[in-house]
Structure 1
Amino acid sequence: MAKVFYDVIGDRDNVYNAANEWKENCLLQDRSLFNENHTLWTLENLKLLKNRFNDSPMYSGQLTFDKKFEMQLQGAPQVIYQLAMEIMYVYYLFPYSKTVSYRTKLLKLKDIASWGEVPYDNKHPLLKDLELGIGATGTYYNTAKFEEISYIIQFATTIKLMSVEERHNVLDDPWELKKVIADTKNIIGKNVQVQHIISHLIAPDYFECMASATHKSLIVKSFYDSIRNENEPDIDKKLYEIRETLEADGQYNPVNFYHNKMIYDMWKPNPKKNPKIIPQPLPQPVDDNFDLNISTLGNLVFENEGILLNQIQTALKSGKHIILTGPPGTGKSKLATEICNQIGISNKLVTATSNWTTYDTIGGYKPTKNGELYFDSGIFLECFKNKEFINLNEWLIIDEINRADIDKAFGPLFSVLSGDEVTLSYEMKDGTPIILKPESKVNGDIQKNEFVVPNDWRIIGTMNTIDKSSLFEMSYAFMRRFAFIPVGVPKYISPRLVDEYLDAWSIQNYIHTETLTTLWELINQYRKIGPAIVRDIANYTAESEDFTSAIILYVLPQFEGLNDYKIKDFVAQLSVKLGDLIAEDLLKDFIEDFFQIGVVDEV
């Protein structure tokens, strides 16, 4: 049996029960998943949705999937919105919470319901079945939603073209089901993960709980001796035979190709090793046992959080330092701190400055009260040893890292990150030279004069993208040691999204959501800013309607360096969009003084 559980047998049965309801009520019959008394999953409705979605793709790179989906559904009967929401439910049933958070799943369903004014019961028991999920999906599952969801629609349409008897024959026989799965893939024209997911959800006793075709191939290759019929072409039948053999063996309990470490170690994929022209030691990967969970990041909310999570984990586990990039106010610094907290590693947070030298970062001599000189550790060395000479491993978070002249400030640390041992031009009180070395160079005990960079030590930097062109450039030698991970502003700002942020910030009973949404959208037409600044505006206006002061305090200072014309145009557009809520004369006076520009002329 390929049904999966995590802590105790049956702890994911609610997912399988929901999948069975989809099979019995929606595929074999025509009922709604959320209201079995209503007819919904009919061939006619599926064809209408297929015509709007599968057959009418939108390839514009400027719009998010959600915005495109909303436009594709626009003008459709309410019943099609209901069907679209239930298909999205099927799409989200499999991914576990570390791939797609429960919060995201619920919000996406609620969005579709709101587009079509479909009644939405947020206490419906089926929604709770989305919380845990049963398996991991790759990044492609989140970034290629069009292909994945098109597959679900096409699969259901194919089933509906059959008689009821034929449907039973297909859905009750795993190998007949596999034929339809393969035929649907040929119609879609692309390999998608949901073809493996649907197979498992409908026939979990026969198809493995995995979304990766590559993993299936690796398992078959590793356990080839367990296959009775060597000429069998179907990979899922081979996997079924392998499972039967392992279960009969009795030593692997349970037979789970991911959770049973003995089995996993026999087939696990090895990372590709790319040849290097000049081999250089890199930081060692962080312990594979750590997991990040974006859904627990307190009052931080991110778009495409599953992708962000995967990028962070992949970078750290592959041995890279990371730099979080994006507009001001997107939560980069808080995210950096939370990464360390979730891994359970102590950290030091500093803000880079243009005045940084190796004296600040590595250290240098300082005088005592008696006039004697002693070596005082800089920011970097304090991560490896404290004043009592106790060895440390404190990750370093550098806020606004590109404000420093990196090559000048990092100095000898560059060499150590490349695997070299460096003797500094400083001495301890006993006259021994101070040595900075990677952990790989340590033989025996670490001495007082040795500052050792642990193999899994990391730098997490943040960088505001609006400063990128005006501050110090980063050399290639520096950048190749880092993974640059974007933490952006949501592409599509809606009242629903703003409400989500307000809820995360515990700002209750806020009555200006529509105004705040309009303001944020307008600001981003001139300069991208993140939700942290929007939070400041919300807090300021929670007890009043003084948006003018909030804009002066929190928004306009972010426009430093913007073209004079754009600043004046922004003020004019504020008056158009927000009307009497804005004291235009006060804004004009402020920008005339702050930016030293005239604004009395017509914009």
Structure 2
Amino acid sequence: MGVERHAIVCAAAQKVFGTGVLTGRSSFAPELEAWTLPAARELLHRFVENYDGSADEFLVKLKRQISDASDAAVVLAAELLYVNLVPLNAGTVGPDRKFEIIETVLSWTPRRAAIPADLAEAASTGSIKGGQAFLNYRWAQFAFLIRVTVRLLESTAAERERLLGDPWAFRDLAQAVFADHDGKYRARSQLHILLFMLFPDTYEPIASERHKQLIRDAFADRLAGPAGDVDRDLAEIRRRLEQESGGPVGFYAEPWRSKWHPPERPRPQRGWLVRGANVEGVNAVLRWLEEGFCSVAWAEADEIAAGASREEIEAVVTTAYPDAVNESKYAHVLQLSRFLTEMQPGDLVATVDGDAVYVGKVTGDAFYDDTDGRDLARRRPVEWSAGSPLSRRGLSEATQARLRDRRTVGDLTRVMAELASEAGLDDEVTDDVKIVDETQPLVIPMLTEAFADGLLMPPDWLRETADLLVVKRQLILYGPPGTGKTFLAARLAEELAGPERTDLVQFHPSYGYEDFVEGFRPRPAANGTIGFELVPGPFKRAVEAAEAEPGRPFVLVIDEINRADLAKVFGELYFLLEYRNREISLQYSPHEKFKLPENVFVIGTMNTVDRSVALVDAAMRRRFAFRALAPDRPPVDGLLRRWLARENLPDTPARLLDEVNRRLADPDRAVGPSYLMTRQAAHRRGLERIWATEILPLLEDQLYGSGTDVEQEYGLAALLEALGIDLP
């Protein structure tokens, strides 16, 4: 089955890329010559030479760069992205996301262009686990494909045909344009997979350079002598193994995989920050790099064995620092426990020295050696990356934020995938670290026409609302009763994040920080007494769930957000709502750093009858985007009529609602359409019930003290008479 899927993927890539390079014709718009040198150079200029280093999502940046390009350039971009995406299995990028990316790009040109059925089937299939690079570095892979295409199209037709028939000559050409704009090589995985798709009889379906090396080393006994070229060696190894086995060989299948693949780790890999630039006034980092280790001090404390329990560490710390307060003592124990016990061989480690960031791999257990003094005595052997140091300023905001941790030993697991990849150690990163990588692109689906049609709301308004939420991260829908605020908030959240990643909580006057974030709750203790346990609230639970899936959005819907004392409920979280890449300590968890992930979104609803939006304090307004839902403005204006038409019901309820709101003449007090979006409103008895039990009580409350005779002015009979409607 794997061989068949590979064959389908390779045939599709060869059809798009090979046919395009040789004939110039587009596979998505056959009448268009998209694979031309002018179109390729246009992409090179717009996307590669004018590099966009902003933190925006790939498609957002790409739209800025090429949406107004020529039809040929846009279609060529879509087809190169197809080449990038087609080999990836569903575990890397799902079919829906593949099609969404490609179709979004095609939507930027008025020309009719679509993915043919056979190519769509190949993209749905996929066959290769591409790894995190195909998520984090799509921009680099796309730029690499553009550079390769330009170089090919600069050649003569005869030369292009020769290159596409010679796997080694083609590799030489691709490697000549391999480097990114800054001299790094982030498109390694794309190079390996492109070679396989175009020349499956020569190259392996392997995205990882490290895996290729491990396989070559494990089966080196099949080689008469290493060629010094891992791809040529693998081709020879495959030929020998197929002769031995009498059939096809798959290096990711048994019995071959276990011969080269490293054994599974006993616990998930983690990433660590260990500070050494100021150890009692001395910079130890250069010595770490030269001698291959990292260390922590605590010179006053005696030797502690590697793997010691927290109780054992605490005993030594208490002796060494008898006057330390409990909070300080806890911090000492936590740091030492991380370095001596939690850190394991195979983990990744980083250290900083000014703007320079160094990354390496822990290669052994902790040990104690005070030959050079006790400040450097507690050590871990580290294999530091041989390349130049990374620039802290060149890293993502999320990674820079984690590197601000002032503690001697900090947890970098959630950003270590980026650090390792930038340092050339991406093949050392396990799936455990990749899964929780908070620097990976956030996948937010586009709102479809079908979704808008189901809500009977304008798609442009809904997309603008979603864009506001994505940019600001916090959004409030406000308006009078019955405008569908809660319904829309929940539906929007579920469409963007999915029902399983959406939670709803309702605020009320007695709601507090302990309910929303975390607080102590009484729990029966083991000895029969009552104790107290720190219990997370809905906000902290949402954050914990979001941290487990950093590439997916999580939405917390807060209904009637203005009914609670917001400063009291949010507490120190007000700061994090505005500064997502900062860490703080929560009031009930002072020893733990808390950060609000970028993939947590908040949608609040606010009833303007309860409290005008103008009365919300400035701190709240600055942190939330506000979107009005008013009966006299889109998307609510005309909503009831659209619903009645869809349900084939008379428009009497809509005429009655318009008359009520005309008489009220106050947008904040207007009556929303949801009261009448029911089949009960289609007949007199139902209307009378709705008026008597919902609309008139609402108006009596709103107009209390105004001297208005609500029944006479807004009663159903009065309105029907004024409109000349005779209901049976």
TM normalised by structure 1 equals: 0.54
Aligned to 1:53: 47
Cα distance 1:364–1:145, how it changes in 2: closer, same or farther (>3 A)? Answer: same
How far apart in 1 are the matches of 2:143 and 2:91? Answer: 24
Aligned to 2:25: 31
Alignment partner of 1:278 out of 329, 337, 344:
337
Alignment partner of 1:255 out of 246, 249, 255:
249
Aligned to 1:587: 668
Q: Which amino acid aligns with 2:539?
A: E
How far apart in 2 are the matches of 1:554 and 1:24? Answer: 64
Once the two structures are superposed, residues 6-28 of structure 1 have per-residue CA deviations (whole angstroms, 9 ceiling, x without a partner) of: 3xx41443212111212441122
Q: Which has the higher contact order (CA 8 A, sep 6+)?
A: 1
Q: CA deviation at 1:146?
A: 2.1
Conservation of the 8 A alpha-carbon contact between 1:15 and 1:134: yes
Aligned to 1:101: 94
Aligned to 2:213: 217
Aligned to 1:469: 572
Aligned to 1:113: 106
Conservation of the 8 A alpha-carbon contact between 1:87 and 1:149: yes
Q: Which amino acid aligns with 1:314?
A: D
Once the two structures are superposed, residues 322-342 of structure 1 have per-residue CA deviations (whole angstroms, 9 ceiling, x without a partner) of: xx9x7587568954699xxxx
Matches within 5 A, 1:318-333: none
Q: CA deviation at 1:106?
A: 0.8
Cα distance 1:130–1:377, how it changes in 2: closer, same or farther (>3 A)? Answer: farther
Q: CA deviation at 1:588?
A: 8.2
Q: CA deviation at 1:92?
A: 1.0
Matches within 5 A, 1:135-534: 135-186=128-179, 189-191=183-185, 192=187, 193-230=189-226, 232-250=227-245, 254-260=248-254, 262-264=256-258, 266-268=260-262, 277-278=336-337, 314=432, 335=500, 356-357=519-520, 359-360=522-523, 363-364=524-525, 399-401=538-540, 467=570, 469-470=572-573, 472-473=586-587, 475=589, 478=592, 486-489=598-601, 529=602
How far apart in 2 are the matches of 1:187 and 1:333? Answer: 36
Amino-acid identity (%):
18
Say which one has the larger Rg: 2
How far apart in 2 are the matches of 1:53 and 1:201? Answer: 24
Once the two structures are superposed, residues 549-587 of structure 1 have per-residue CA deviations (whole angstroms, 9 ceiling, x without a partner) of: x97599989996654776999589989995994989433
Q: CA deviation at 1:101?
A: 1.2
Conservation of the 8 A alpha-carbon contact between 1:336 and 1:397: no
Conservation of the 8 A alpha-carbon contact between 1:48 and 1:80: yes
Aligned to 1:19: 13
Once the two structures are superposed, residues 400-456 of structure 1 have per-residue CA deviations (whole angstroms, 9 ceiling, x without a partner) of: 33799x9xxxxxxxxxxxxxxxxxxxxxxxxxxxxxxxxxxxxxxxxxxxxxxxxxx
Conservation of the 8 A alpha-carbon contact between 1:92 and 1:130: yes
- Runs of at least 5 residues in structure 2 that lack an aligned partner in the other structure: 273-293, 295-334, 345-413, 419-429, 437-441, 443-472, 476-489, 504-513, 545-553, 559-565, 575-585, 639-660, 672-700, 703-728
- Runs of at least 5 residues in structure 1 that lack an aligned partner in the other structure: 285-306, 319-323, 339-350, 366-372, 381-395, 407-460, 490-528, 537-549, 595-603
Cα distance 1:574–1:565, how it changes in 2: closer, same or farther (>3 A)? Answer: farther
Cα distance 1:571–1:201, how it changes in 2: closer, same or farther (>3 A)? Answer: closer
Conservation of the 8 A alpha-carbon contact between 1:337 and 1:397: no
How far apart in 1 are the matches of 2:8 and 2:621? Answer: 58
- Aligned partner of residue 49 in structure 2, secondary structure: coil
Q: CA deviation at 1:266?
A: 2.4
Conservation of the 8 A alpha-carbon contact between 1:200 and 1:206: yes
Q: CA deviation at 1:38?
A: 3.5
Cα distance 1:571–1:397, how it changes in 2: closer, same or farther (>3 A)? Answer: closer
Aligned to 1:44: 38
Q: CA deviation at 1:32?
A: 0.9
Q: CA deviation at 1:243?
A: 1.9
Cα distance 1:225–1:379, how it changes in 2: closer, same or farther (>3 A)? Answer: farther
Aligned to 1:301: none
Cα distance 1:569–1:477, how it changes in 2: closer, same or farther (>3 A)? Answer: closer
Conservation of the 8 A alpha-carbon contact between 2:517 and 2:540: no
Conservation of the 8 A alpha-carbon contact between 1:151 and 1:184: yes
Aligned to 2:397: none
Cα distance 1:132–1:221, how it changes in 2: closer, same or farther (>3 A)? Answer: same
Aligned to 1:436: none
Cα distance 1:278–1:397, how it changes in 2: closer, same or farther (>3 A)? Answer: closer
Cα distance 1:314–1:479, how it changes in 2: closer, same or farther (>3 A)? Answer: farther
- Aligned partner of residue 190 in structure 1, secondary structure: coil
How far apart in 2 are the matches of 1:194 and 1:54? Answer: 16
- Aligned partner of residue 116 in structure 1, secondary structure: coil
Cα distance 1:576–1:488, how it changes in 2: closer, same or farther (>3 A)? Answer: farther
Conservation of the 8 A alpha-carbon contact between 1:571 and 1:587: no
- Aligned partner of residue 4 in structure 2, secondary structure: coil
How far apart in 2 are the matches of 1:254 and 1:277? Answer: 51
Cα distance 1:335–1:259, how it changes in 2: closer, same or farther (>3 A)? Answer: farther
Q: Which amino acid aligns with 2:198?
A: I
Q: CA deviation at 1:217?
A: 2.4
How far apart in 1 are the matches of 2:611 and 2:234? Answer: 58
Matches within 5 A, 1:549-564: 563=619
Q: Which amino acid aligns with 1:215?
A: H
Conservation of the 8 A alpha-carbon contact between 2:502 and 2:555: no
Aligned to 1:129: 122
- Aligned partner of residue 359 in structure 1, secondary structure: strand
Conservation of the 8 A alpha-carbon contact between 1:220 and 1:239: yes
Aligned to 1:78: 71
Q: Which amino acid aligns with 1:587?
A: D
Aligned pair count reads 407
Q: CA deviation at 1:104?
A: 1.0
Q: Which amino acid aligns with 2:522?
A: Y
Once the two structures are superposed, residues 157-203 of structure 1 have per-residue CA deviations (whole angstroms, 9 ceiling, x without a partner) of: 11112222222221112111211121121476432121111101100
How far apart in 2 are the matches of 1:464 and 1:223? Answer: 55
TM normalised by structure 2 equals: 0.46
Aligned to 1:91: 84
Once the two structures are superposed, residues 322-365 of structure 1 have per-residue CA deviations (whole angstroms, 9 ceiling, x without a partner) of: xx9x7587568954699xxxxxxxxxxxx9667854633xx348
Cα distance 1:277–1:283, how it changes in 2: closer, same or farther (>3 A)? Answer: closer
Conservation of the 8 A alpha-carbon contact between 2:555 and 2:600: no
Q: Which amino acid aligns with 1:43?
A: L
How far apart in 1 are the matches of 2:237 and 2:666? Answer: 76
Cα distance 1:124–1:572, how it changes in 2: closer, same or farther (>3 A)? Answer: closer
| Aligned CA-pair RMSD | 5.3
Conservation of the 8 A alpha-carbon contact between 2:46 and 2:66: yes
Once the two structures are superposed, residues 242-294 of structure 1 have per-residue CA deviations (whole angstroms, 9 ceiling, x without a partner) of: 2223223328x65222233642452337657878842587799xxxxxxxxxx
How far apart in 1 are the matches of 2:615 and 2:191? Answer: 48
Cα distance 1:122–1:18, how it changes in 2: closer, same or farther (>3 A)? Answer: closer
How far apart in 2 are the matches of 1:468 and 1:13? Answer: 57
Cα distance 1:35–1:478, how it changes in 2: closer, same or farther (>3 A)? Answer: same
How far apart in 2 are the matches of 1:196 and 1:136? Answer: 12
Aligned to 1:64: 57
